[in-house]
Amino acid sequence: MTVPTIRGIIRRNLLIIFLIALFVGGGGFYVLLEHAAMQNAGQQAELMLSSALAVRGYTTQHILPNIARLHDAVFHEETVPAFAAQTVFRSVSAGDAAYTYREAALNPTSNADRAGPFEVDLIRQFRNDAGLKEIRGTLDQGGQRLFYLARPIQIKDEKCIVCHDTPQRAPKLMVAKYGPNNGFGWHMGEIVGVQLLTVPVTQQFRSTLELESLLIGGLTLIFALAYFGLTASLEATVATPLTSLAHAADQASRSTSSAPELPTSGAREIRTLAESIQRLRVSLAKALAQIGGKHD
């Protein structure tokens, strides 16, 4: 088994330290950047969802009562809070498909609001955990990374039950438009759907990766310079003097005829050790000379 030299130990330990620092620093910086991107997307989603809820509230309080007084022969979708909120959101998002707002239900009145597989899974999570009020996360869709914010749609208003209890109690114009088989059988307190809003975060994550690459490159350059600088310094002040001391001590233990030069530079501890070895060598030479004289 080969015993490592002091030079090898110094270089290996410095390299290990720098690699650990690079991994921890780069990984920690990426986590912070990703967290900041998620927070920014979350704030944007909350603002947009608040706007959609405001449209819902305005439709319920102001549009629906006024339209109801007209006694028209047709059903106006604009009086449905979910329809109004989703329509306004599509106008605000200016056709960007990455920005979406849906009020999806398991048994909706309009088939356009029927929950897809992902939305069904969200509804199931809300139903299984009564204390769960919000779900956040990211998903990949259409080649884009999307941040989503989901909240449950729970029946808390008696006015909703009138329209979604049975076809007999629902407005006749609504039944005539959508039929008697969709959007009925809802109960008070039941979670029937999910409000799902998505915001694109592809660019934010791409910027995060770019910043991470710049950081890793900068740290690598700094660590490389520090590595070569430290190894050169330690070579001159520690490794070379210690090698000379080891050689001198080895020679002194074998013979007194040679007198290798001991280092006079380096750290104070190394100079002190060199002086001690020199004194030991002189003492050993005197002791051996006395022993030789007695034998003569």
pLDDT at 172: 81
| Maximum separation of any 2 CA atoms in the chain, in Å | 138
Confidence of residue 186 (pLDDT cuts 50, 70, 90): confident
* Domain range summary for the chain, segments of one domain joined by +: 15-200, 210-291
pLDDT digits (tens, 9 = 90+) for 65-113: 766 666 666 676 767 778 888 878 877 776 676 788 888 999 988 888 8
pTM of the model: 0.63
Asked if 7 and 239 count as a contact pair (C-beta separation under 8 A), the reply is: yes
Is residue 59 over pLDDT 90?
no
Average pLDDT, the chain: 79
As a whole number of angstroms, the distance between CA 56 and CA 35 comes to: 31
Separation of alpha carbons 187 and 294, rounded Å: 116
Cβ-contact 162, 58 below 8 angstroms: no
